[in-house]
Structure 1
Amino acid sequence: MRRFQHYACFDWSGQAVARPKGLALATIAAAPGAQPVLVRPPGGWSRAAALEWLLDLARAGTDILIGLDLSPTFPFIDADGYFPGWDHSPGDARELWALVDRLCSGDDHLAASSFVQHAEARRYFRHGKDDTGDRFGSLGTGRLRAVEHHQRKTRQANSASCFNLVGAAQVGKSSLTGMRVLNRLAGRIPIWPFDPVPQNGPVIVEIYTSIAARAAGIAGGRSKVRDAAGLHQALAALDTAAPAPLAAHDDHSTDAIITAAWLRHAARDPELWQTFWHPAALDDTIRRTEGWTFGVK
């Protein structure tokens, strides 16, 4: 399986503002001794700027693997559809991205508030303690994708349902905003595993930062790194040099840095790298409708 000259991680956010605090990007070159770099434009990232950064990579043909910390789809396999009972339920991932982007076309900042407020779509989400859609499902945790069931069964991670919009662990809005960005890439960057991996140029994968954190020796992958010493220790476990001093060690920045370093570190292990790209449980139906979290074996 191909290696890349550069690796990157975008820690993502569904916050419906111009510059979400949770958006962070780190990159690292594959060259020996390379330091991770926290990329921060003046004023912080917007989702529109993140999209433009990705499009710049496509135009330049940059040889880079980009991890996005979000779910690119909703569950499909468990109910033979993303939104069973809704006539407009899409048939595959790209149709889903187009639907989300279309219903949210009036939302500023590539936000996705309109989707979870839509008369039909909102029925599938848990919006609050006493506000659960009638099609949310019987599971208290909410429906899960095949890879999320696999993560839990094998104890590789403990992903939350994208249909749950309640609590600190909710990832639904973040994933919806990500779907809008994926739709607007319009096929200009291959997105694994929905697209074949080309011999050159950029590729996007879904990542889960807790998997990278666990590989870096952070207990259970749950603890957050909030100081230079903790960050340097995690990077040392990934055979990665420390970055230039950071202005602040917030969760989003350190997650992005550690995960970019993890992608680079994993690429150095041929057997592990091959397994990441070819997980045994990934079949053609999952590949077309739900995708897979990179690094889940």
Structure 2
Amino acid sequence: MTVPPGFDAFLGIDWSGSKSRTLKGIRVARCEPGSRAPRLVDGPRPGGLWCRADVLEHILDRRRTGERLLAGFDFAFAYAHQDAGAYFPGLEGGPATADELWAFVERHAAGREDLYGGALYEAGSPVAHHYWRAGPRPEGFVERRRRTELACGAITWPHPVFKCFSAANVGTGSLAGMRLLHRLAERAAVWPFEAPAALTVVEIFPRLYVRRAGVNPGRLYERPADVDAVLAAHGSAAYAGPPLDTEDKADAVLSAAALRHLASAPGVWSAPASEPASRREGWIFGVESANPGAP
């Protein structure tokens, strides 16, 4: 296993796949080595908001200053592959590796503003039928799971990655995220597809870090004492910044603390090594390797 660098900063990024130009759902929190609590970072838009392109530029700017950065994003870095031997079963000539998947998403979503990825499940897309786009579960829809999601299920289950509607959907955010990864591929180490480097991006799952602390994640932002309990479980001092009045803000802060805490654990970095599927499917940072069962 490649030993990760000593990072100078850790960013927890609560992502959004929304089509809106005003992305209140994107929040960024930052902390440095030590135990000081993470703090929210304002974006360059009015009200301190971010768009997706702003986040990309921010992490690249930080790296240009020489900062060694570990950035965590809460979207799926890839789709299930091992279960069917393909990301999109039945698609002739479809992508076979993660970087090919990101390029495929970029190609079919090209021209959509601010990395929006919804074109993949719209009419005319060659893979639209793989996605749950609206209404009741489509006939024949299979809730495919990556190996890391199955392993994570021992503590808490991620939402289906091919579901692209409702407040709980992670599908649209993951498509936008794959467009981001396509742009980062030659400028950052996308773990676990690449060994960690001075700029490393990893997939995070905030609810996992909350559950690991023994705290109920439901509307956690309304319970400051529980927020501090999760921070303490990840070696952080109590939160001391502006109120965490949304789930997105709380998730960003808690994820930054979890990243800092987990980054020093060799077992976290080596977990995907025993799961060959991780080479195509990715891995959630902090999920232990296991022999998972079905949901």
Letter in 2 for 1:291: G
From 73, 98, 105, the counterpart of 1:100: 105
1:292 and 2:292 equivalent?
Answer: no
Q: What residue in structure 1 maps to residue 131 of structure 2?
A: 125
From 53, 57, 72, the counterpart of 2:58: 53
What does the per-residue CA deviation read over 1:220-262, in whole Å, with 9 as the maximum and x for residues that have no partner? x455323544323332333312344315521001111011111
The equivalences for 1:230-269 within 5 A come to 230-268=226-264
CA-based RMSD of the aligned residues comes to: 2.1
**Aligned-partner Cα distance in 2 for 1:186–1:262:** 24
Letter in 2 for 1:224: L
Q: What residue in structure 2 maps to residue 7 of structure 1?
A: 10
Q: What residue in structure 2 maps to residue 34 of structure 1?
A: 36
Q: What residue in structure 2 maps to residue 279 of structure 1?
A: 271
Q: What residue in structure 2 maps to residue 204 of structure 1?
A: 201
Shift, 1:23, TM fit:
0.6
1:63 and 2:68 equivalent?
Answer: yes
- Which piece of structure 1 moves more, 57-66 or 247-256? 57-66
Q: What residue in structure 1 maps to residue 291 of structure 2?
A: none
Question: Cα–Cα, structure 1 residues 282 and 170, in superposed 2: closer, same or farther, change >3 Å?
Answer: farther
Letter in 2 for 1:127: R
Shift, 1:281, TM fit:
6.3
Gaps of 5+ in 2: 289-295
Shift, 1:131, TM fit:
7.0
Shift, 1:130, TM fit:
4.4
Shift, 1:88, TM fit:
4.0
What does the per-residue CA deviation read over 1:48-100, in whole Å, with 9 as the maximum and x for residues that have no partner? 10110122133334212111111011111111001111124101000110111
Letter in 1 for 2:147: A
**Aligned-partner Cα distance in 2 for 1:71–1:48:** 18
**Aligned-partner Cα distance in 2 for 1:197–1:267:** 11
Q: TM-score, normalised by structure 1?
A: 0.87
**Aligned-partner Cα distance in 1 for 2:159–2:243:** 31
**Aligned-partner Cα distance in 2 for 1:274–1:186:** 24
What does the per-residue CA deviation read over 1:155-189, in whole Å, with 9 as the maximum and x for residues that have no partner? 12201221122433221001000000110113201
- Which piece of structure 1 moves more, 174-183 or 48-57? 48-57
Q: Is 1:227–1:249's contact at 8 Å kept on the other side of the alignment?
A: no
Q: Is 2:108–2:125's contact at 8 Å kept on the other side of the alignment?
A: no
Q: How many residues align?
A: 281
**Aligned-partner Cα distance in 2 for 1:171–1:275:** 27
Structure 1 ranges of 4+ moved more than 4 A: none
Q: What residue in structure 2 maps to residue 111 of structure 1?
A: 116
Question: Cα–Cα, structure 1 residues 5 and 88, in superposed 2: closer, same or farther, change >3 Å?
Answer: same
Q: Is 2:188–2:201's contact at 8 Å kept on the other side of the alignment?
A: yes
The share of aligned pairs that are identical, in percent, is 32
Letter in 2 for 1:69: D
- Which piece of structure 1 moves more, 5-14 or 163-172? 163-172
**Aligned-partner Cα distance in 1 for 2:150–2:212:** 20
Q: Is 1:36–1:242's contact at 8 Å kept on the other side of the alignment?
A: no
SS in 2 for 1:158: coil
SS in 2 for 1:10: strand
- Which piece of structure 1 moves more, 123-132 or 112-121? 123-132
Letter in 2 for 1:290: E
From 7, 11, 18, the counterpart of 2:21: 18
Q: Is 1:190–1:204's contact at 8 Å kept on the other side of the alignment?
A: yes
